[in-house]
Chains A and B, each alone.
Chain A
């Protein structure tokens, strides 16, 4: 045990981070390249298109900024509750951990519900992926991001039984910390997508 413990300590000391954290950051870095590949494709298509928004959606486009502003605020709130949940477990506040992660889960589910509402509304009004590059890139980017939010919600649902049983503490909270990194990344990506797709 002591040999294993000192080996872990040496490994941690030499890399400056736990293997779990290095793994999560590596995943996020490669995932970021996936998102950026899609964003570059969006930018190239948009710049090279003489008319980006098809005539029937002129002049303001088909997308509603008000609804997505609310979605953005919800994700920012869920990032806040996520970081508060991590702070709670670090001071062994089990009630705080459950409360803040519950709110994070609620934020994720609300975001997904609003995205389903937005997509349904757009598709019923004729704004479908094959209808234009404008629509195709919109569905690709927001769909890819929505899949990440869905993964985050499932990830948290899997963690929740252990959270309710009080299995995490100030000395054992690595899964919460790693989950937090993923969830904040999802929020960070949405911040960029909201600006690029809806505001520019």
Chain B
């Protein structure tokens, strides 16, 4: 991010940072309530809801507090590469774990 980008970004004050802070706080409260509502009774709903909220929070921090939104392609490549590699690892390991669990259940 260039100095000019930053100056433009912060020209209107720090209001955006406070909005992100509010969103992070509200999402954290909703996450805790969500975990209380669904517990282990509806595990898929629990995981999907919490995953979506945690992912949104992480994205807000990266885009606005780490200023990723104003970065250029090189930084995005640096960020996305490990995520792709880890996704490949997850796709490799998780089916094996689920298979193992299904064998134990028999």
Contacts and interface: CB of A to CB of B under 8 A. Distances in A.
B66 to A, nearest CB: 5
B35 A33 contact: no
Interface string B73-96: 111001101110110011001101
B74 A17 contact: yes
A29 interface: yes
A187 B24 CA distance: 11
Contact of A87 (B10, B53, B93): B10
B86 A76 contact: no
- The secondary structure that dominates the A interface is helix
Interface string A174-198: 0000001100110110011011100
A20 to B, nearest CB: 12
Contacts of B62: 184, 188
A40 B7 CA distance: 40
B21 to A, nearest CB: 4
A76 B50 contact: no
A37 B35 CA distance: 25
A191 B14 contact: no
B32 A69 contact: yes
Given A16-B74, A47-B98, A195 B21 contact: no
Between B46, B75, B90, the greatest number of chain A beta carbons within 10 A of the residue's beta carbon is seen for B75
A84 B18 CA distance: 9
A96 to B, nearest CB: 10
Given A40-B86, A44-B94, A73-B25, A25 B65 contact: no
Contacts of A37: 86, 89
B78 A22 contact: yes
Interface string A147-174: 0000000000000000000000000000
Interface of B: 1, 6-7, 10, 14, 17-18, 21, 24-25, 28, 31-32, 34-35, 46-47, 50-51, 53-54, 57-58, 61-62, 64-66, 71-75, 78-79, 81-83, 85-86, 89-90, 93-94, 96-98, 100-101, 104-105
Interface of A: 15-17, 21-22, 25-26, 29-30, 32-33, 36-37, 40, 43-45, 47-50, 65, 69, 72-73, 76-77, 79-80, 82-84, 87, 90-91, 180-181, 184-185, 187-188, 191-192, 194-196, 199-200
Given A29-B79, A45-B97, A48-B104, 13 more contacts: A16-B71, A17-B72, A29-B78, A30-B82, A40-B86, A44-B97, A47-B97, A80-B17, A82-B65, A90-B6, A181-B66, A188-B61, A199-B32
